[in-house]
């Protein structure tokens, strides 16, 4: 299987980083031509072979420096011809010098290993084999599903024909909760992606993963550009989120939902991480922002209404039909949290796909989402005061998460979310005047 071969290639690279790794040799070991190997490696890892090897070398050199080895010696040992060459590559990757990075983050003796799951992409041939468990036409069309407005292809969901989606999930508990939420929402009159029974009349089957074929919810997603072309769409989404929350309130006794404390999560994990990144990347975020957040939001958060929320209402999970929201999908992250999280998260998801030169136009979208929500679920005075802090909470979580994660494409997402956080912090006054 090609994904297994690429995993074996990365394992070989890991063991031979101090040697001169020949691309031709790696391709020969994998049994492919160099041209095809390049394409295959890039497809499965979302990185070029050269950038992957460079990234791993830099991590190991940093680890060696942190435990006392000379930076020059470490750089030469891992194949750089000069320290200057290593230094330029490091700054381009990490945003600061190795010395500054270590002063911020300290000892780097542990190297994050590449996860085998990262390479477990399924081919359409493998998907078609899985589909044999359902009474479907063997020639049914299989399509990849884009998420994050085309920035990434989903590695766990595929569109099957016109009416279904196949989900392959390594997290059994999350997927079962998602199924339970979908069925409960269907009973509440919402459109929801419920499971299609297998030939054995089961809702799913299992091998190493939980595999579910779900009914497609009628409708289409809106692009980021659509929200800017028609501002009414944002109001419609806000209103729909309020209706979804009303339905969730009726489900809380039926579905076990993990509680989450937003302030604790940010103050104990995300905020300390972001403060380090402010130094690392020289971000324009003053220390006073963090002091203000900790003192003000600590008090506000206790007064905010809490309930079951979607937790991931980005535009790709909201389906429109005839200019109205017809349903929501992807309930993997449903939890009990402050209800204001969902409309604020939807707004920041739209900002994440907005070009920097259009950032100023985003404030109207944020306001319209909140006005739509407020029309159906009246925002409390405390919620109106907390809008800026909830948005900042979401952004700090995203900045910390993407920066800590070695998954493909996350480097770009980390950079985007740092840029967003700077913009949001610098516009506190403007955001605080929304929905007063």
Q: Vertex 160, ends 156 and 166: CA angle to 5°?
A: 30
The reported pLDDT for the residue numbered 109 is 66
The whole-angstrom separation of Cα 17 and Cα 29 is 16
Give yes or no for residue 406 having a pLDDT over 90: no
Q: What token pair was written down for 68?
A: 């006392």
Co-location of 238 and 166 in the same domain:
no
Confidence of residue 146 (pLDDT cuts 50, 70, 90): low
Produce one character per residue of 366-387: b if its CB has 16 or more CB atoms within 10 Å, e if not: bbbbbbbbbeebebeeebebbb
> The domain containing residue 93 runs over which residues?
2-113
Residues 346 and 379 occupy one common structural domain: yes
Give CA–CA dist 140/159, Å, rounded.
Answer: 10
Share of the chain above pLDDT 90, in %: 74
Summarize pLDDT for 280-321 with one digit per residue, the tens: 999 999 999 999 999 999 999 999 999 999 999 999 999 999
Q: How far apart are CA 71 and CA 63, in angstroms?
A: 10
The pLDDT, as a whole number, for residue 148 is 46
Q: How many domains does the chain have?
A: 3
Tens-digit pLDDT profile for residues 324-334: 999 999 898 99
Q: In terms of DSSP bridges, do strands 306-309 and 335-338 run parallel, antiparallel, or are they unpaired?
A: antiparallel
Q: Provide the token pair at 81.
A: 């011809």
- Note the pLDDT tens digit of each residue in 336-358: 999 999 999 999 999 999 999 99
Per-residue pLDDT for 149 more than 50?
Answer: no
How far apart CA 251 and CA 186 sit, in angstroms, is 11
Same-domain check for residues 98 and 169: no
pLDDT for 194 equals 95
* CATH number of domain containing 164: 3.30.200.20
105 pLDDT more than 70 = yes
3-class DSSP state of 308: strand
CA distance 406 to 7: 15
Tell me, what's the pLDDT at 189?
85
Minimum mean pLDDT range among 68-82, 96-110, 263-277: 96-110
Residue pair 327/186 in contact by the 8 Å Cβ criterion:
no
Together in a domain, 173 and 317: no
Q: What is the pLDDT of residue 126?
A: 87
For residue 293, the model assigns a pLDDT of 98
User: How does residue 279 score in pLDDT terms, banded at 50, 70 and 90?
Assistant: very high
pLDDT higher than threshold 60 for residue 118 = no
pLDDT at 174: 84
Give the pLDDT confidence score for residue 150 in this predicted structure. Answer: 41
Q: What is the CATH number of the domain that holds 233?
A: 3.90.1200.10
Q: Give the pLDDT band (50/70/90) at residue 151.
A: very low
Check whether residue 73 and residue 140 sit in a common domain.
no
φ, ψ of residue 82 in degrees (nearest 5): -140, 160
Give the helix/strand (H/E) hosting 91.
Answer: helix 83-94
Cβ atoms 49, 41 nearer than 8 A: yes
- Higher-scoring residue by pLDDT: 196, 252: 196
Are 242 and 378 in a shared domain?
A: yes
More confident of the two residues 12 and 436 = 12
Count helices and strands (H / E) in the chain. 19, 9
- Token pair for 353: 């796909």
> Would the pLDDT of 107 be above 80?
no
Reported in sequence order, the residue ranges of 113-239 that DSSP labels E, i.e. its strands, are 142-147, 152-160, 164-169, 205-206, 210-215
| CA dihedral sign, ordered 73, 77, 80, 82 | positive
pLDDT at 115 over 60: no
**215, 241, 268 - which closes a domain:** 215
Regarding whether 42 and 64 lie in a shared domain, the answer is yes
Does the pLDDT at position 152 exceed 60? Answer: no
pLDDT higher than 80, residue 360: yes
Q: Are residues 43 and 185 in the same domain?
A: no
Range 357-378 average pLDDT: 97
Residues 45, 84, single domain; the answer is yes
Could you give the maximum distance between any two Cα atoms of the chain, in Å?
66
Check whether residue 258 and residue 395 sit in a common domain.
yes
pLDDT at position 408: 64
pLDDT band at 113 (very low <50, low <70, confident <90, very high): low
Same domain, 328 and 235: yes
Indicate the SS3 state at residue 199: coil
Predicted confidence at residue 74, as pLDDT, reads 95
Element (H, E) at 429: helix 428-432
The CATH number linked to 39 is: 1.10.10.60
Task: Give residue 116's pLDDT.
Answer: 55
The residue among 164, 195, 215 that closes a domain is: 215
Say how far apart CA 418 and CA 424 lie, in whole Å.
10
Contacts of 251 (CB under 8 A, 6+ apart): 181, 184, 185, 188, 308
Residue 13 CB: number of other CB atoms within 10 A?
Answer: 18
Under a CB-based contact definition with an 8 Å cutoff, are residues 400 and 270 in contact? yes
Of 165, 185, 215, the domain-final residue:
215
How far apart CA 366 and CA 345 sit, in angstroms, is 10
Q: Is the pLDDT of residue 40 over 80?
A: yes
Confidence check: pLDDT of 10 > 50: yes
Quote the strand ranges of 123-217, DSSP E. 142-147, 152-160, 164-169, 205-206, 210-215
pLDDT on residue 211? 94
258 and 368 both lie in a single domain:
yes
**Average pLDDT, rounded, for the chain:** 91
Q: pLDDT at position 209, please? A: 81
pLDDT tens digits, residue range 126-140?
Answer: 899 999 999 999 999
């Amino acid at each position: 299987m090609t994904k297994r071969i690429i995993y074996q290639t990365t394992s070989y690279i890991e063991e031979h980083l101090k040697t001169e790794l020949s691309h031709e040799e790696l391709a020969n070991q994998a049994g492919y031509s160099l041209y095809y190997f390049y394409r295959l490696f890039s497809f499965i890892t979302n990185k070029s072979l050269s950038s992957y090897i460079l990234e791993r070398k830099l991590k190991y050199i940093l680890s060696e420096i942190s435990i006392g080895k000379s930076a020059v010696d470490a750089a030469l040992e891992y194949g750089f011809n000069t320290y200057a060459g290593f230094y330029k590559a490091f700054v381009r990757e990490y945003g600061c010098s190795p010395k500054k990075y270590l002063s911020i983050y300290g000892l780097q003796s542990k190297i994050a290993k590449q996860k085998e799951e990262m390479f477990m992409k399924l081919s359409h041939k493998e998907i078609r084999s899985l589909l044999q468990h359902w009474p479907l036409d063997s020639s049914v069309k299989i399509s990849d599903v884009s998420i994050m407005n085309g920035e990434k292809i989903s590695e766990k969901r595929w569109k099957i024909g016109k009416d279904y989606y196949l989900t392959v999930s390594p997290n059994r508990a999350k997927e079962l909760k998602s199924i339970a939420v979908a069925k409960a929402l269907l009973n509440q009159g919402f459109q929801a992606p419920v499971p299609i029974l297998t030939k054995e009349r089961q809702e799913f089957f299992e091998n190493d993963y939980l595999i579910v074929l779900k009914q497609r919810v009628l409708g289409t997603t809106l692009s980021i550009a659509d929200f800017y072309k028609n501002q009414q769409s944002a109001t419609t989404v806000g209103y729909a989120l309020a209706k979804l929350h009303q339905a969730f309130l009726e489900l809380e006794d039926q579905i076990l939902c993990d509680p989450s404390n937003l302030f604790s999560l940010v103050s104990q994990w995300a905020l300390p991480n972001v403060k380090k990144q402010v130094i690392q990347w020289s971000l324009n975020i003053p220390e006073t922002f963090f002091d203000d957040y900790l003192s003000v939001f600590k008090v506000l958060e206790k007064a905010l209404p809490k309930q079951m929320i979607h937790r991931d209402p980005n535009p790709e999970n909201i389906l429109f039909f005839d200019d109205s929201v017809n349903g929501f999908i992807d309930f993997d992250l449903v939890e009990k949290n402050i209800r204001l999280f969902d409309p604020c998260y939807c707004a920041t998801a739209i900002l994440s796909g907005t070009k920097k030169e259009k950032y100023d136009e985003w404030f109207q979208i944020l306001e319209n989402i909140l006005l739509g929500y407020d029309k159906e679920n009246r925002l409390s005075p405390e919620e109106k005061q907390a809008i800026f802090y909830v948005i900042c909470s979401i952004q700090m979580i995203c900045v910390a998460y993407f920066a800590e994660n070695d998954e493909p494409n996350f480097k770009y997402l980390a950079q985007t979310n740092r840029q967003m956080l700077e913009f949001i912090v610098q516009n506190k006054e403007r955001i605080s005047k929304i929905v007063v």
